[in-house]
Amino acid sequence: MFLAFDRIKELADKQGISLNILEERLGYSTNYLYSLKKGNPKSDRLQEIADYFSVSTDYLLGRTDNPAIAGKPQTDTDIDLDDLDGRIMLFDGKPLTDDDKRAIQGIINGYMSSKE
């Protein structure tokens, strides 16, 4: 189950949260996620984690490298803002700072919220 732990850690890192914060948000005991290095997760817990990150349980278990949930339509407009970090580095020939990137993400989030 070490792969499940690695995938969960990677997903948490992409969201900028620690495993301890993830455990708090999901209502798990301290170090529960670290216990996945040694044992099998319960199916209900695995599903909760997958739902939290909007990935499939098969992805967490290492059965597939595609995190998409089967049957969930994927469109070309689906963009993970965390993935943009490595792609958009310049504006007007100048590098974007982390503050610039956070501001851009905030603008996009605000715009998307206003559409709902």
**What is the Cα–Cα distance from 67 to 59, expressed in whole angstroms?**
5
- Mean pLDDT computed over every residue of the chain: 80
How is the chain split into domains, by residue range? Answer: 2-61, 81-115
8 Å CB contact between 51 and 43? no
Using DSSP, state whether 43 is helix, strand or coil.
Answer: helix
Strands (E), 1-116: 90-91, 94-95
What pLDDT shows up at residue 73? 53
For 50-85, give the DSSP string: HHHHT--HHHHHTS-S--SPTT----TT---HHHHT
What 8-state DSSP symbol labels residue 63? Answer: S
CATH (one of 3.30.9.10, 1.10.1490.10, 1.10.260.40, 3.10.180.10) for 2-61: 1.10.260.40
Q: What's the rounded mean pLDDT across residues 50-64?
A: 88
What pLDDT shows up at residue 38? 86
Q: What is the pLDDT of residues 22-54, one digit of tens each?
A: 999 999 999 999 988 888 788 899 999 999 998
Q: What is the pLDDT of residues 73-95, one digit of tens each?
A: 554 445 565 555 555 566 666 77
